Amino acid sequence: MSLLQSFRAWFHRKILRDRAALWNHQYSRGRWEFLKLPLEIARFDACVYLLRRHAHAGSWLEIGCGEALLQRRLASGDYQRFVGVDLSSVAIARAQPFADHRVRYFVADMQQLQLNERFDAVIFAESISYVPHPGQLLRAYARFLNPAGVFIVSLFRNQRTAHVWTEIHAATATIDQVTTTNTVGTWDCEVLRLR
């Protein structure tokens, strides 16, 4: 095994497992319960609106799906196929009751995702900011998009996510967007295509 391979093996064993453990711990302790509050609904509905506009009745992949909160806001005719993945097995266990013959949830790291399917929309709702190079990730995710497929990215607006958007926009062009503001703050939800 080369030095690089050993480093990769160590990185996946130690760092990624620790990240999953951290998310599991936080979900178990209720750290993310606030995502279910009414004040979060508008930013989910911005994603739903854009999904219906750009990928209606298509196949959708949600990355960092958590507890299936986005899917819970959908009508069954919105999609013909829905796949949700998340690093946290605790979150996925809570998403699992919403799976059916068209809907599948499973645990995976978005940076290691293996899927033999392509989708009309790949959605990152408040999740792409957890990888170090979001622009690179989107380029690599071209392999999961149908020819006319789009990315839909939603992020809470702050200094950190401003940098994330800069990196995303270096790799993609925005073809539609919705901004949502309430007493919590502002979320930007964009429909993107690779440049």
The only residue of 48, 125, 168, 191 in contact with ligand SAM, by rule CB under 6 A? 125
Which residue among 46, 50, 91, 168 contacts ligand SAM (CB under 6 A)? 91
Closest approach of ligand SAM to the CB of residue 73, in Å? 10
Q: 130 to each of 96, 100, 158, how far by Cα in Å?
A: 23, 28, 14
Min separation Cβ 6 and ligand SAM, Å? 22
Rounded distance between C-alpha atoms, residue 83 and residue 65, angstroms: 9
Single residue of 55, 74, 110, 192 touching ligand SAM by CB under 6 A: 110
Applying CB under 6 A, which of residues 42, 52, 99, 130 lies at the interface with ligand SAM?
130
Residue 108 CA to residue 118 CA, distance in Å, equals 17
Using rule CB under 6 A, residue 178 touches ligand SAM? no
Q: Does position 89 bind ligand SAM by CB under 6 A? A: no
Residue 64: Cβ within 10 Å count = 21
23 lies in the binding site for ligand SAM (CB under 6 A): yes
Q: CB under 6 A: which stretch of 53-61, 85-93, 97-105, 137-145 binds ligand SAM?
A: 85-93
Rg of the chain over Cα atoms, rounded to whole angstroms, equals: 16
- Looking at residues 52 to 81 of the shown chain, list those that interact with ligand SAM (rule: CB under 6 A): 64-66, 69
Contact positions toward ligand SAM, by CB under 6 A?
Answer: 23, 35, 64-66, 69, 86-88, 91, 109-111, 125-127, 130-131
